[in-house]
Amino acid sequence: MSSLVTDTPLLLLDRLRSALPAEILLTDPESLAAHSRDSAPFSECGTPAVVAEPRTAEQVELIMRTAYELDVPVVPQGARTGLAGAANAVDGCVVLSTARMDRILSVDPANRLVRCEPGVTTRRLAEAVAEHGLTYPPDPASWERCTIGGNIATGAGGICCVKYGVTADYVLGLDLVLPDGRRMRTGRDTAKGVAGYDLTRLIVGSEGTLAVVVGATLALRPARPPALSLLAQFPSLTAAGNAVAAITAAGHTPSALELLDRATTQAIVDLGHPLLRPGSAATLIVESDSAHPAAELTAMELLCKEAGSDHVSTSATDEEAREIIEARRLVSPALAAYMAARGGSGLTAFIEDVAVPRSELPTLIGMIEEIADRHRLKIFTLGHAGDGNLHPTVVFDASDPDESARARTAYDDIMEAGLALGGTTTGEHGIGTLKREWLERELGPVSLELQRGLKRLFDPKNLLNPGKVVTV
């Protein structure tokens, strides 16, 4: 091994320390370990040489330029709430955390946009624009912790995306630092614009493999009106699927249309929610924030009953609406209660992400239930029925090699089932390292080669988040 390669980590640290404030560079073992991975299981990670927490875009430029000159890989990170391994460190890399770049730069009510840095959490942004009578609709489940930069990297969605769209629909422009340290801006502040290739859309969902986001211009909407909700339970998956199809075909635009399978419904029943009855094969939770939500809910209630629902609760007040939506928000506590009751030091809940055409939802849920039985596992499936995006959650004991192996096989079976039904391996969590093999199957050779070509164009040295999404 050459002395240059051997001395690279020391040279890197010397150059960074000579140019940056000491407090933004972390090298202690605890910090390196804490920043080694995101929240995804089954995904390899390495040990970084240093964790950098820049406060400014100029500091990001310097870090990127220095790493590029020394051929050191850089792995961007946000809050590490990702579920695909996209923020996992590689050995000897610079972990570049943008979490400290958390300023909301301006809110522009006249043009309905906000400018912010990537470390701003989704909740804080939503609260800031609400003070101006505006809303930022994307609402990932981890919205209290996840950052705007991470949302952009993964193309995050959320419960209300069935009506309001996903992160990509709200990113107007980006301030970027390229792998070699050059700075550029994509997009525009105008309501319309088609000048040149759409590099903004290319960066959204690229999982930190093409450039580092150091600023974003996001579109806003007027504050959402008050919403009402209904909860419908069904004796079969087919009946629930028919209800979803009927709601969509009738032209309704619910602000949430969520589906819980048998296992998830029962877990919430066990937690004590007063509206849910035991024994249902599926539960739909529907929310309307239209101009006339009561009338829309009445129409959707009728469609649910015609499809075969044997229990419907419809809200007439804000408090009743919150109680219904609370059933959806209780999914995580219900799973936690199930895991606590089961016990086991290595118990893990792996939240998966697969999307299929809406018409195939009942079939996929049935296949997931069969996969759970075949592999002797507990799988809780919930998801955004309005856009066909499901989140099967596999519960397994990571300290048990046999159960871990069965969980991994079940995960692969779910991916295969989704693709077989004309779906995609990820609706909003991304590819990272976890799904690279499945991405290759989904894209095909021609599309895959174009994707690799884009990676080489932006990052000819393959130093920015290497090994994620596509391999080159």
pLDDT at 96 over 90: yes
pLDDT digits (tens, 9 = 90+) for 25-60: 999 999 999 999 999 888 889 999 999 999 999 999
Contact, 176 vs 185, CB < 8 A? yes
Give the per-residue pLDDT at 6.
54
Cα 1 off chain centre by: 40
Q: How many helices (H) and strands (E) does the chain have?
A: 16, 19
Task: Tell which phi-psi region holds residue 465, choosing left (phi > 0), alpha (psi between -120 and 50) or beta.
Answer: left
Six-digit token pair at 187? 């997009």
pLDDT digits (tens, 9 = 90+) for 316-330: 999 999 999 999 889
Six-digit token pair at 443? 């894209």
pLDDT band at 5 (very low <50, low <70, confident <90, very high): very low
Contact, 436 vs 469, CB < 8 A? yes
pLDDT at 103 over 50: yes
pLDDT digits (tens, 9 = 90+) for 209-253: 999 999 999 999 999 999 999 999 999 999 999 999 999 999 999
Six-digit token pair at 231? 């909860």
Mean local confidence (pLDDT), 125-143? 94
pLDDT digits (tens, 9 = 90+) for 140-167: 888 899 999 999 999 999 889 999 999 9
pLDDT digits (tens, 9 = 90+) for 360-392: 988 999 999 999 999 999 999 998 999 999 999
pLDDT at 256 over 60: yes
CA–CA distance, 64 with 68 (Å, rounded to integer) = 6
Give the per-residue pLDDT at 40.
87
* CB atoms closer than 10 angstroms to residue 84: 26
Give the per-residue pLDDT at 225.
92
Give the per-residue pLDDT at 351.
86
Of the listed ranges 65-69, 272-276, 328-332, the least confidently predicted one is 328-332
Rounded to the nearest integer, the mean pLDDT of the chain is: 94
DSSP string covering 274-322: SSPPTT-SEEEEEEE-SSSHHHHHHHHHHHHHHHT-SEEEE-SSHHHHH
| Helix residue ranges per DSSP H, 20-132 | 29-34, 57-69, 122-130
Residue that is written with structure tokens 């000579």 in the block = 18
Burial of 39 (C-beta count, 10 Å sphere; 0-12/13-18/19+): middle
Over pLDDT 90: what percentage of the chain? Answer: 86
Give the per-residue pLDDT at 4.
44
CB-hemisphere CA count at 13 Å for 301? 17
Q: What is the pTM of this model?
A: 0.92
